[in-house]
Structure 1
Amino acid sequence: MRNLTPTSITQAFADYARDAPSERTRTLLVGLAGHLHSFVRENKVTQAEWDAAIGALTRATEFTDDKRNEYILFSDLLGVSSLVDMINTAGSGTPSSVLGPFHIEGAPELPNGGDLWKGQVGEPLVVSGRVTDGKGAPAAGTVLALWQNGGNGLYAQQDPAHSPTNYHARLTVADDGSFAFSTVRPVSYTVPDDGPAGDMLRALGRHAWRPAHLHMIVHAPGHRPLITEFFPEDDKYLDADAVFGVRAGLVLPFRKVTDRGALPAALAARDSLPMPVWAATIDLTLPPA
């Protein structure tokens, strides 16, 4: 198209894509280009500013490998990952949240009532609960994918002192939907901020902290996987999560338990679990199938 103007270029892009084989792909990319064009026009973006943006994306490749993805980090810190999650979440059941960058497939099996803590650094935490469907029936056959950081603030992928599956597990709930396990109380930590995504945080005067949390993916027969995370109600970063992952329904009391008899039976019998311990109850309600 000849004689393009700052206004007509947006329609020109849409016209060029009229023969796209996928209408959905055309809708998404034409919409994206339109928003980008509007952003450039409204903010009168300079050549130097655009070069800086391209440079940040180029630098992101230097920080991306099989353990870290700087582009996902940008998405998280911009709130896009959380927004995609929220607009696609079910309207009922336990809320979902962002996946996070440290989930691994093929984690070791953990028996119901098993231990992830193993005496490592940090305060032991007992987690118990029940998984039910939307009608209150136990969700037998449900498998929980569990992962979290250690008491030193590091995930297994960041900590060469431990195995690559440390604090990662898959647990099958009992026939009545109940589950229990012991682990370490998670701690607040900072997302990686040594790359261009961190530069963006500093340019905005933002911090890189996430509140402590437990990750979980709920795999239940006849239901979509539920990706979520749970936060202790006393964490000081709940209202300033760098990746916008906190939901009101995912904030839980973590309480101190001094009486071993108050623990789930499978854990009360374990003498290696020192008292007192922290305890949290997580009752999950699955969204509709």
Structure 2
Amino acid sequence: MKLSDTELTELAELAIEAATAAGEMIARTRPEQIEHKSDSGSLASQVVTEVDRRSEAIILETLRPTLERLELGLLTEEQPDDGGRFRADYFWCIDPIDGTLPFIEGTPGYAVSIALVRRDGTPTIGVMYDPVGKMVIHAIAGAGAFRNGQPWELQASQGTALSLFTDKSFLASEERDEITTGLEKIARDLGLAGLHVDASAGAVMNACKVLANPLACYLKLPKQDGGGSLWDYAATACLFREAGAIATDLHGHPFALNRPDSTLMCHRGILFATNETLADRIRARFRSSQFRRLG
């Protein structure tokens, strides 16, 4: 089954309604309870709040009728993967709160993220809601990218510095020095003043910040465990595709948004970049000995 343009538009409107309602609830709430998910992984992956579950419930209240009506699958961060994404032609991919740490700390950088992904891994709808900025961002395959209902076009100016948007865990990571050294070299080669690092947001808002800047990137080097999952990147992959920006792994391939063996996404690295020139330089740098990893 192939969804029509009309059906995609209707589903995007429902996803916007769901994400906005969930985001408004989040904006009114502070975490009431923190539970540990596991004893390993990033700090963000170790905690889940009551607000996560309430956000998911609000989203599913709106989207659940579409599961039966259009035979859609469902993958969410807070529920076990039931394999429905391999049987349905399309599946919803939901992150009730992306950027758990900024939310817990009461700082900007978290968002609600909803994507509709085809079984072959192609993102067809991406919806993001920023509760702090009260901003709705969405994209529909073939219809473009939008910010608060207006077409989102990339900035034409080149900027004076290269910006790296990343999560807070980057600051304590083993690869921090080599990534910043490599990007500083790229900035010099491009005639820029230097590198600006912003490590304050989750994956969704990091990607959105890249798109809002004239020369910016968000990247993760390859790793076999951790580094983000389908729900962290599916919506923004659709957004970047429709905006004409770059969202690939570090080998230049489209994201594998429906891996049969895992929901993890960082096995070949993650790269969001504002243009192909910058993306090419980052990939080339990755292929050098300094950036070579497991991918």
TM-score range, shorter chain: under 0.3
Instruction: Specify which structure has the higher proportion of helix.
Output: 2
The structure showing larger relative contact order (alpha-carbon pairs under 8 Å, at least 6 residues apart) is: 1
Could you state the TM-score of these two structures normalised by the residue count of structure 1?
A: 0.26
TM-score (norm 2): 0.25
> Which one has a bigger Cα radius of gyration?
1
